Structure 1
Amino acid sequence: MPVILPVKDTMPQIPEDCFIAPNATIVGNVAMGNQCSVWFSAVVRGDVNYIKMGNKVNVQDGAVIHCTYKTHPTTIGNNVSIGHNALVHGCTIKDNVLIGMGSIIMDGCVVESNSIIAAGAVLTQNTKVEAGSIYAGVPAKKIKDISKELISGEIDRIANNYIKYSSWFK
């Protein structure tokens, strides 16, 4: 069974249509939207501030979502994929975003809609990612504008696939 625990009398809010893997951990002030999934060994830890997730968010294997005490909650929009072993910390991720495997998004960052953060990228504190762009590297920088084909071919495809994958476990 997944670890789902209250912190200071605040229990995570998880709709019934979400999939939570048996060894995932979700604690504290976490509010998830519909059709979300939290995969194997992922951690969503709303103990020191809140974490709010929209609809169709998938938190893939080994990813960590956290926040910073009193200063930086974490807000994630709709149709967002957070890749394997990514770290999303005290930031804002808008709608239709792909966070690549092993990437790090630090406190105060804002990732605008229709964007991709490449695998292994590091967004240093307070980085603002332009809508419709791809950021890569360490530290991450804009490498190009995103095409409509990438929005539908990658961002939408991955988010929709994770809804399908989660149905296999229900």
Structure 2
Amino acid sequence: MHEHPGALILAHGGRSPRIPPGAFIAPGARIIGDVTIGEGASIWYNCVLRGDLAPIEVGARSNVQDGSVIHVEGPRKGGGGAIQPVIIGEDVLIGHMALLHGCRIESRGFVGMGAIVMDGACVQSTGMLGAGALLPPGKTVPEGELWTGRPARPRRALGPQEIAAMADQCDHYLEMAEHHRGLAAES
């Protein structure tokens, strides 16, 4: 795909990724199957988004940082198993090397570096899953709370300055994506 030099974008099972012109896909990213990327979103170096069993959606202006892996859960042979897509809202921060599987991150949610979000789990709007945390299947980080640990547990409420800092980080990644888009075009 000439619009995203160095990225691997593949159809799977008759479904192709849908990526608007304003999204940034870094070289080395792998986007496979039923994946929808929102306007202004950024998928960074060496991320894998594999929508082979169910859909993946990344909302507008969200960023999936370097080395993160996003996968889904689908039906098993013989018809068992639930379909669990990954739905990422708008203005979401997904830290470096995070792992998301069959889960939901609501708009303005935050997943820290190296954190894991399991099947059926949810990080609500302005919720924060700390770096290295593991959110078990079916658990929810409520709005405005910080959860940390393995397994993740509530630690404290987030203050207004921390919530504002998350929005600032989204703006920062929009700027960085434009800079890196230029680097990719030059190479």
Deviation at 1:38, TM superposition (A): 0.7
Shift of 1:8: 1.1
Match of 1:65 in 2: 70
Contact kept in structure 1, 2:110 and 2:123, CA below 8 Å = no
Q: Residues 11-160 of structure 1: matches in 2 within 5 Å?
A: 11-70=16-75, 71-153=83-165, 155-160=166-171
TM-score, normalised relative to structure 1: 0.97
**Structure 1 runs of 4+ with >3 Å offset:** none
Structure 1 vs Structure 2 CA RMSD: 0.8
Instruction: Kindly name which structure, 1 or 2, has the bigger radius of gyration based on alpha carbons.
Output: 2
Q: Deviations over 1:7-53 (max 9, x none)?
A: 01111000101111111000100011110111111111101110011
- 2:128 alignment partner AA: I
Cα distance in structure 2, aligned partners of 1:98 and 1:164: 18
Amino acid at match of 1:46: G
Secondary structure of 2:176 counterpart: helix
Aligned partners of 1:22 and 1:32: how far apart in 2?
Answer: 16
Q: Which protein is richer in strand relative to its size?
A: 1
Structure 2 counterpart SS, 1:158: helix
Residues 55-82 of structure 1, C-alpha deviations (whole Å, 9 max, x = no match): 1111101000111013211101110011
**Where does residue 8 of structure 1 map in the other structure?**
13
> Any unmatched runs of 5+ in structure 1?
none
Alpha-carbon deviation of 1:169? 2.2
Counterpart Cα distance in 2 of 1:93 and 1:59 = 12
Structure 2: gaps spanning 5 or more residues: 1-5, 76-82, 182-187
**What secondary structure, in the 3-state scheme, does the structure 1 residue paired with 2:180 have?**
coil
Give the TM-score normalised by the residue count of structure 2.
0.88
Give the Cα separation in 1 of the matches to 2:149 and 2:112.
Answer: 11
Quick check: 2:9–2:17 contact (8 Å CA) kept in 1? yes
Paired AA for residue 57 in structure 2: K
* 1:132 Cα deviation after fit: 1.0
**Count of matched residue positions in the alignment of Structure 1 and Structure 2:** 169
